[in-house]
A and B are shown apart, each in its own frame.
Chain A
Amino acid sequence: MIRFDYTRPGDIDAAIRSGTPVDAAYLAGGTNLVDLMKENVARPLKVVDINRLPLTGITELGDGGLRLGALVTNSQTAYNEQVQRRYPVVASAILAGASPQLRNAATNGGNINQRTRCYYFYDTDTPCNKRQPGQGCGAIGGFTRIHAILGASEQCIATHPSDLCVALAALEAKVQVTGPDGDREIAFAEYHRLPGDEPWADNTLRPGELVTAIDLPPKGFATNYTYLKLRDRRSYAFALVSIAVGLRLEEGKIAEARIAMGGVAHKPWRRREAEELLVEREPGHASFDEAARALLAGAVGQGANDFKIELGRRGIIRALAQAAAGTPQSQTDKRIA
């Protein structure tokens, strides 16, 4: 851990002023940033503690949606009555991740900005283009069990570790940000990015921009949904693959479908084509399998993670079945529904 200046601004304008220099970092729950600082991976010279900013509410939006303040903790979100009733896939995804202690500290803004758990990114004695541009990628040709099968580049095969983001991608949430150039709204699909030739950039935030809220649209898919997380142990492990599903059924047929995957790419993985394959179809193995194959089209393994392709296909089919049957995966009963 390097030495740094610490400030705790009381209002958003002051926070942005402090947070705009390239060597600054916003600190919320600290469950990821502080770890990375201890490992000497994150080396901010200015740490801007935003915990005093007024970003802590969960409020109803005029369009019928729900706004989750950036500083609302993951626990507060998951156990919020409105979230549980109207957006159970969000609550379920949060509860599938981390531990109660971490969820109590981690915030919604921090969750969507958390960084990859790639072993090489975390180890400063290995090469990593994400940590140090131009160093090369240690993971490619290395141990790749947890790495991407979709959307990777020759520069980076890291995955995004968040569970919450997979649900937010499926719901088409919107990220509210503010910054030196004012406020803007970013569609969730545009928020995270693929590594390409700039793997150091996880998302499309501009310098100094601060997430203020995450807006959930009116449609919550509260009847037919699931969040299915497949991992190396039953709790406290990042997803090998995870699937968030929201379905709208009409007269026994699928009227609308959302499928997002975690653990497979640099961002939550969604494809409209895969979802559209399900529309007007009856729920069933054949249609689910088609959708799964379409969502995974072009998936490439690195060796140790080849299994994610088949596990992902089976996982998508199961998740769609869970959602269609209205029997979502429980996050307390560890039996797969």
Chain B
Amino acid sequence: MNAPQKVGIGTPLSRVDGVAKVTGTAKYAAEYRVPDMLYGVTVVSAIAKGRIVTLNEEAARAVPGVIDIISHLNRPKHAWFNRSWKDELKIPGEPFKAFHDDRIQFAAQPIAVVVAKTFEAARFAATLVDVKYETEPHNIDFETSLAEKFMPGVGHRRNTYHPPKDHGDAERAFGEAPLQHAAEYHLAVEHQMQMEMHASTVHWHGDGTVTIYDKVQGSQTSKELVASAFGLGEKNVRVVNAFVGGGFGGALRPQWQLHVATMAAIHLQRSVRVVMTRSQMFSHAHRPECTYQIRLGAAADGKLVAVLGDATTSTSRFESNMEDIVTWGMMNYACSNIQGSYAIAPRDTYTSADMRAPGAATGMTLFEIAIDELAYKAGADPLAFRLLNYSDIDNMNRKPFTSKALREACHEGAERFGWAKRSPEPRSMKEGRELIGWGVATGLWEANFMKTSASAKLSADGHLEVASAASDIGTGTYTVMVQVAADTLGLLPESITARLGDSDLPTAPVEGGSWGAASTGAAVQLACQTIAKKLLKAAGGVEGRPFHDVSSIDELEFAGGYMIRRGDPTRRVGLLDAMRAGGLDVIEAQETASPGIGGMISLATKARNTHSAVFVEARVDEELDQVRITRVVIAVAAGRIINPKTARSQILGGVVMGIGMALHEETAPDKTLGKWINHSFGEYHVPAHADIEDIEVIFVDEPDPEVTPLGVKGLGEIGIVSVAAAVVNAIYHATGKRVRSLPVTVDKLLAV
């Protein structure tokens, strides 16, 4: 008798929430129907900085259906202390508090909400609110803001910030290096622009409790914020984010519509919904603008002798958002003289925020353009140059990796792409009027793991429910939870339901940092293992006691609805038979996975990272500088892959976003008005279908039992890192034109 086939970790299971999503039964924050709900439409400031002098509401209040208008003048009491407004990210500074007072700190700041019986009445009335301002000088220009750049002192830094660690004498080594490259690189502001707009539907139950359907990457961070900032009390607030239409970091922090909707609900003691407009989506989170000076020195043989990086990113005047920019290049390459500095520059905008691979998507990408430039100076093949300077350890922290299959990724990617057929000289490949270029870059991201809890409940009808307050921002968390549970208990995915996106469920962090699959997966596995132990105990009552000599579930295989003695498949007990024998109607368990469990080694001794090698073919019209990205091969080393299908989708999405970063995405400031001016999907460009051609994803074999309990490293971010560098490098190889400022738009190519 053979063990039944398992459908678990490693199988390309289609998304378990796929049908709900494509048939519209999956509900998003703005779609919940709540009885007697009112509609709030937010009025935002027309100026970038100053004070509200008067708010004339007369005409707006006269509109039939309008119930009330809430602003700083009549808002319900909210917490005074900044600590009551801190979300899970704990960005240092003074968090933005909607309607706090008459101060305007950024353009399109929410200043009032018109609440009406219908959305249409509220929208119309909102246009009639007449606001008079007293303006103050403002600055949104990054270049100008650099005069005020600073480094927050210890204790005033983001807790995720890693200061660069210098080694050797980089200045001297650079000065003496026979091969030198020094240049300044720049990344424009990008907005996360998830498909789903930020929305909060507050269900006011009337008994002191509220349920809030919120667009956020973590239900519990919204719950805590609402409970503390508005004094509702933790036990009275439940936040649901069962489906999230994209996040990209833009919804890691609860957004201002949550403040506005909650205040309106409290003020009116009614249920209220507030949804941002697409234009208002440009009023808050965005990837910081960055300037990065890179100096690289190499010996005559091409080996790096000096790496120096100095970067500044943008933040607001009221909070200090920080990223790791200069560390990635220092970590990635073998070099004994490294030196980095970092600062932030404040301007009169909302605080910049994490956006897919925050820091690395900027810092590693720009660094990989610089490395490419040095490779050409060294007369080396750009891939060979990277392998020549390959580091088997984290070069900055001087720590070994739990695993690093980047070399394999480079080789497999190059093989698949046909890199060997590349003509080395720029502008040497052509077909018709199109110049053809092949570029490469390598990517680096963190394999994170966060403390996460999950529960599991096995019923006598054979149905298993696993649950955690994690979020699925389109990444496949539901599916991963089902697969891990199926794998652990040997059940079919059809008999398993995953629940998430509800603050009442076991504690989980916000969905970000690529930690979701590893952390939620580990918690689900632990909870299911506890169920397994209870089943083993219950199996003691089965006739014939087939497991009389089994003391641990490690001696059992779980497959096909059975517990099976390893090495003796004839000794088996059905899970439901065990429950019956043990007199159990239901088995429940709740467990918490924390860093350090199982075989995980300590953060202090080893570096834990994902790696990638990206190969890009660009075709550029030689006269018109129109760029097409015709081919991408990306080889990813990310440990164990739970689901090759959803994993591939994650990487495809990252690559598409990377192409957008390279060629399209840019939020343009109007410096006079102090606002982002192209605030619509008509003029803020992301790639269209026509911009995306062949993309091939390879997952490199990288067994890593140390990194996390499941050997999983996470894939949310690595797909975008350095894609834009490979594009820029391919454009250079095609045209001989080096553009150091992203995105590479046609005007920049024409100017070279």
Which chain B residues (609-635) contact chain A, with CB distance < 8 Å?
619, 621, 623-626, 628
Q: Across the interface, which residues of B come within 8 angstroms of A236, CB to CB? A: 688, 690
A145 to B663, CA, bound (A): 15
Which residue from A126, A230, A307 sits with its C-beta under 8 Å from B626?
A230
The winner among B434, B671, B688 for most chain A CB atoms within 10 A is B688
Which chain A residues (89-137) contact chain B, with CB distance < 8 Å?
117, 119-120, 122-123, 125-126
Which residue from B432, B672, B678, B746 sits with its C-beta under 8 Å from A119?
B678
Residues A234 and B677 in contact, CB atoms below 8 Å apart: no
Q: Across the interface, which residues of B come within 8 angstroms of A39, CB to CB? A: 279
Q: Is A187 an interface residue (CB 8 A)?
A: no
Residues A123 and B677 in contact, CB atoms below 8 Å apart: yes
Chain A contributes a number of interface residues (CB within 8 A of B) equal to: 39
Of all chain B residues, the one with the shortest Cβ separation from A232 is B685
Q: Across the interface, which residues of A come within 8 angstroms of B685, CB to CB? A: 232-233, 237
Q: Is B750 an interface residue (CB 8 A)?
A: yes
Q: Is A318 an interface residue (CB 8 A)?
A: yes
Q: Is B381 an interface residue (CB 8 A)?
A: no
Which chain B residues (641-676) contact chain A, with CB distance < 8 Å?
663-664, 668-673, 675
Q: Across the interface, which residues of B come within 8 angstroms of A234, CB to CB? A: 628, 688, 690-691
Q: Across the interface, which residues of B come within 8 angstroms of A123, CB to CB? A: 279, 677, 679
B697: shortest Cβ distance to chain A, in Å?
22
Q: Across the interface, which residues of A come within 8 angstroms of B689, CB to CB? A: 235
Residues B677 and A119 in contact, CB atoms below 8 Å apart: yes
Of all chain B residues, the one with the shortest Cβ separation from A234 is B690
A141 to B745, CA, bound (A): 21
Which residue from A2, A125, A138, A230 sits with its C-beta under 8 Å from B124?
A2
Q: Across the interface, which residues of A come within 8 angstroms of B433, CB to CB? A: 336
A138 to B279, CA, bound (A): 18
Q: Across the interface, which residues of A come within 8 angstroms of B663, CB to CB? A: 233
A3 to B60, CA, bound (A): 12
Residues B746 and A232 in contact, CB atoms below 8 Å apart: yes
Q: Is B397 an interface residue (CB 8 A)?
A: no
**Segment from A171-179, A215-223, A308-316 that makes contact with B:** A308-316
Which chain A residues (1-43) contact chain B, with CB distance < 8 Å?
1-3, 39-40
Q: Mark A229-247, 1 if CB is under 8 A from B, else 0.
A: 0101111111010000000
Residues B682 and A117 in contact, CB atoms below 8 Å apart: yes
Residues B626 and A141 in contact, CB atoms below 8 Å apart: no
Q: Is A180 an interface residue (CB 8 A)?
A: no
B454: shortest Cβ distance to chain A, in Å?
42
Contact flag A230-B746 (CB < 8 Å), given A119-B683, A307-B751, A311-B624: yes
Q: Across the interface, which residues of B come within 8 angstroms of A307, CB to CB? A: 746-747, 750-751
Residues B750 and A311 in contact, CB atoms below 8 Å apart: yes
Q: Is B127 an interface residue (CB 8 A)?
A: yes
Q: Is B391 an interface residue (CB 8 A)?
A: no
Q: Is B680 an interface residue (CB 8 A)?
A: yes
Contact flag A138-B127 (CB < 8 Å), given A123-B679, A233-B664, A311-B750: no
The winner among A234, A304, A311 for most chain B CB atoms within 10 A is A234
Residues A120 and B623 in contact, CB atoms below 8 Å apart: no
Residues A314 and B683 in contact, CB atoms below 8 Å apart: no
Residues A122 and B746 in contact, CB atoms below 8 Å apart: no
Residues A232 and B682 in contact, CB atoms below 8 Å apart: no
B110: shortest Cβ distance to chain A, in Å?
14
Of all chain B residues, the one with the shortest Cβ separation from A40 is B127
Q: Is B123 an interface residue (CB 8 A)?
A: yes
Chain B at the A interface: SS class: loop
Residues A142 and B621 in contact, CB atoms below 8 Å apart: no
Contact flag A232-B679 (CB < 8 Å), given A1-B120, A138-B673, A310-B750: no
Residues A336 and B621 in contact, CB atoms below 8 Å apart: yes
Residues B672 and A141 in contact, CB atoms below 8 Å apart: yes
Of all chain A residues, the one with the shortest Cβ separation from B434 is A335
Q: Is B12 an interface residue (CB 8 A)?
A: no
A234 to B628, CA, bound (A): 8
B116: shortest Cβ distance to chain A, in Å?
12
Q: Across the interface, which residues of A come within 8 angstroms of B432, CB to CB? A: 335
Of all chain B residues, the one with the shortest Cβ separation from A332 is B690
Q: Is B46 an interface residue (CB 8 A)?
A: yes
Residues A120 and B691 in contact, CB atoms below 8 Å apart: no
Q: Across the interface, which residues of B come within 8 angstroms of A120, CB to CB? A: 677
Q: Across the interface, which residues of A come within 8 angstroms of B120, CB to CB? A: 1
Q: Is B462 an interface residue (CB 8 A)?
A: no
Q: Is A143 an interface residue (CB 8 A)?
A: yes
Residues A318 and B124 in contact, CB atoms below 8 Å apart: no
Q: Is B424 an interface residue (CB 8 A)?
A: no
A135: shortest Cβ distance to chain B, in Å?
13
Q: Across the interface, which residues of A come within 8 angstroms of B124, CB to CB? A: 1-3
Residues B624 and A235 in contact, CB atoms below 8 Å apart: no
A233 to B688, CA, bound (A): 7
Of all chain A residues, the one with the shortest Cβ separation from B64 is A3
Q: Is B687 an interface residue (CB 8 A)?
A: yes
Residues B619 and A335 in contact, CB atoms below 8 Å apart: yes
A142 to B674, CA, bound (A): 10
A317 to B623, CA, bound (A): 10
Q: Across the interface, which residues of A come within 8 angstroms of B751, CB to CB? A: 307
Which residue from A138, A235, A318 sits with its C-beta under 8 Å from B623?
A318
Q: Across the interface, which residues of B come within 8 angstroms of A141, CB to CB? A: 672
Q: Mark A297-327, 1 if CB is under 8 A from B, else 0.
A: 0000000101100110011011000000000
A314 to B621, CA, bound (A): 11
Contact flag A235-B688 (CB < 8 Å), given A1-B120, A40-B127, A336-B621: yes
Contact surface of B with A, Cβ cutoff 8 Å: 46, 107-108, 120, 123-124, 127, 279, 432-434, 619, 621, 623-626, 628, 663-664, 668-673, 675, 677-680, 682-683, 685, 687-691, 745-747, 750-751
The 8 A-B pairs of least Cβ separation, nearest first, read A235-B690, A307-B747, A234-B690, A125-B46, A235-B688, A119-B677, A236-B688, A336-B621
Given pairs A119-B679, A126-B673, 19 additional interface contacts (CB within 8 A): A1-B127, A117-B683, A119-B677, A123-B677, A123-B679, A125-B673, A125-B675, A145-B668, A230-B746, A232-B746, A234-B628, A234-B690, A237-B688, A306-B747, A307-B751, A311-B746, A334-B628, A334-B690, A336-B434
A to B CB contacts below 8 Å, 7 in the list = A1-B123, A123-B279, A126-B677, A233-B691, A235-B690, A237-B688, A335-B619
Contact surface of A with B, Cβ cutoff 8 Å: 1-3, 39-40, 117, 119-120, 122-123, 125-126, 138, 141-143, 145-146, 230, 232-238, 240, 304, 306-307, 310-311, 314-315, 317-318, 334-336
